[in-house]
Amino acid sequence: MSLRLSFYGGAGKVTGSNFLIEGEKGKVLVDCGIEQGNDFAVEEVYGPFPYDVTTIDALVVTHAHLDHVGRIPKLVRDGFKGKIFMTPATRDLAALILLDSSHILAEEAARLGRQPLYDANDVEGAFALVETLDYHTEKEIAPGLSAYLRNTGHILGSASVRIRDGEGTSIALTGDIGNSPSPLLPDWEPIPDADALVMESTYGDKLHGKDDRNLLLKERLQSAVKRGGAILIPAFSMERTQLMLYELSNFFADGSLPKIPVFLDSPLAIHVTEVYEKWGMTYFKPETEDEMKREGSIFEFPFLTKTLSREDSRSIEKSPNPKIIIAGAGMSHGGRIGGWETRYLPDPATTLFMVGYQAPGTPGRRMMEGASSVRIAGADVKIKATIEKLEGWSAHADRDQLMQFAEAALKEKRPKIIFTAHGEPAAERFLAQRIHDYLGGNAIVPEYGETWEITKDSVKKV
């Protein structure tokens, strides 16, 4: 008996994470993502899937980021009729993210003069097929194939997936591995029992240097408050925003920061934070759960205002400086933050914090690189503000953490092969080389469309 593993995304192409596992009788997909940013228009994303979707029994989803869930509604629209498995938290987050992205896709499609990839109805159709699966619960999800999820500490509800056949041959996929330790989530769990392992390698060749990230954030915020202007934090809606709210609430509680107004100005981030509140007692680390029990909420504080409507959002301007505005998009490439940047970046009293990855070509990247002006919503905006770039807030494991993950995986039942995927090619190669050189593991960088056959004692490309 053998399992076959094929790479249809998250390897050498821009379509997002997508893996096919075939047993003797059943067929399972793991993740069905779309790349974020400017790649929505790419032909592969809009085109047919490279396999017959009607023959797939089930889809397992690792976590709610778009590059892992973004093409699920299209999969269903194209004829997939199986069950979709994910943790309850991933279900709630993915529903928000996919609805939000369906609006962005509609705008994108109108601009390109083509049909949107999917609409709100397709999202609804997809969620009708969802069945939740908790961590540490083995479940048969297709004829002869079972799934088992473990925490990866990446975002709320994130999981690695192990798929196993009746004889115990298994393939595990990490999804994204978290930047543990996190103040919210438990550390990632090792995967000691896979015959083949697919590992993410986003930061396969980079270090975060996050030793004193809290102290640095606190000091820079104190300076920003002294500067007296608006304090802008462009933030991704999931995990980064909640981390910022959590740290801010601590800084206010211990008196590190004076009581200045904070605005969470992003409908998506507001709803995502509600999901974090809802599932915190199930998914957070024990000490954080204790904190929730003691304090009620760990993301709320008395002078935090959540501005859901456009009207409420506009009223932020009337609030005197200094004030903190947290809004999407995380790379200043859309969303409400653009309006605040247009308004406040020309003011030398303003401080803008960068706490996330800034992709090449985005306004955030240009600001990070010291541009004196930036183009936002079709207009040039002069930058007189102080730009603070803070490292260490990524939700991904860095180079050394990924090596620790690989080492833990290799410890007990040595996987016969580790595939380094879901990274830039250089990062994937670097990680594979190090796993080989330092851990003696058999690591390779898979290519798009490749199929590998895994048995209990062998592995070969077919």
Binding residue (CB under 5 A) for Zn ion from 65, 71, 227, 365 = 65
Q: How far is the CB of 65 from Zn ion (least distance, A)?
A: 4
Residue 400 has which token pair? 């050394």
As measured in angstroms, the least distance from the Cβ of 63 to Zn ion is: 6
Phi, psi of 14 (to 5 degrees): -95, 15
Q: CB 154 → Zn ion: shortest distance, Å? A: 6
- If binding is defined by CB under 5 A, does position 35 make contact with Zn ion? no
- Within 191-239, residue ranges assigned H as helices are 213-227
Least Cβ distance, residue 396 to Zn ion (angstroms): 7
As measured in angstroms, the least distance from the Cβ of 13 to Zn ion is 17
Return the closest-CA partner of residue 304 out of 325, 278, 282, 333: 325
Q: Which is nearer to Zn ion, 23 or 175 (CB)?
A: 175
- Tokens 């102080």 belong to 386
* 422 touching Zn ion, by CB under 5 A: no
Of 6-14, 170-178, 213-221, 291-299, the segment contacting Zn ion by CB under 5 A is 170-178
Q: Beta partners for 151?
A: 159
Residues 6+ apart with CB under 8 A from 209: 391, 392
For Zn ion, the closer of residues 153 and 229 by Cβ is: 153
Separation between Cα atoms, residue 188 and residue 384, nearest integer Å: 41
Tell me the number of residues near Zn ion by CB under 5 A: 2
Task: Name residues whose C-beta falls within 8 Å of residue 309's C-beta, 6 or more positions apart in sequence.
Answer: none
By CB atoms closer than 10 A (0-12, 13-18, 19+), residue 269 is buried
- The Cα–Cα gap between 122 and 76 comes to 7
Strand order in the sheet with 451-454: 130-132, 83-86, 58-60, 27-30, 19-22, 3-7, 451-454, 459-461
Which residues does 451 contact at the CB level (< 8 Å), separation at least 6?
A: 4, 5, 6, 7, 461, 462
Give the footprint of Zn ion on residues 362-381 (CB under 5 A): none
Assigned token pair, 227: 């500067």
Assess contact for 454 and 13: CB atoms under 8 A.
no
The stretch among 35-43, 63-71, 200-208, 255-263 that binds Zn ion (CB under 5 A) is: 63-71
Measured from the CB atom, the residue of 87 and 249 that comes closer to Zn ion is: 87
Pick 102 or 152: Cβ nearer Zn ion: 152
| Closest CB to Zn ion among residues 57, 176 | 176
Q: Which is nearer to Zn ion, 29 or 156 (CB)?
A: 156
Indicate which single residue of 122, 165, 176, 239 sits in contact with Zn ion (rule: CB under 5 A).
Answer: 176
User: What angle is formed at CA 94 by the lines to CA 38 and CA 145, rounded to 5 degrees?
Assistant: 110
Site pattern 130..149 for Zn ion (x: CB under 5 A) = --------------------
Nearer to Zn ion, 69 or 337 (CB): 69
Shortest distance, position 147 Cβ to Zn ion, whole Å: 19
Identify which of residues 142 and 243 has a Cβ nearer to Zn ion in the complex: 243
**Is the Cβ of residue 65 or residue 74 nearer to Zn ion in the bound state?**
65
CA dihedral defined by 281, 282, 284, 285, rounded to 10 degrees? 100
Only one of the segments 51-59, 175-183, 224-232, 255-263 lies at the binding site for Zn ion (rule: CB under 5 A); that segment is: 175-183
Which residues of the shown chain bind Zn ion in the complex (CB under 5 A)?
A: 65, 176
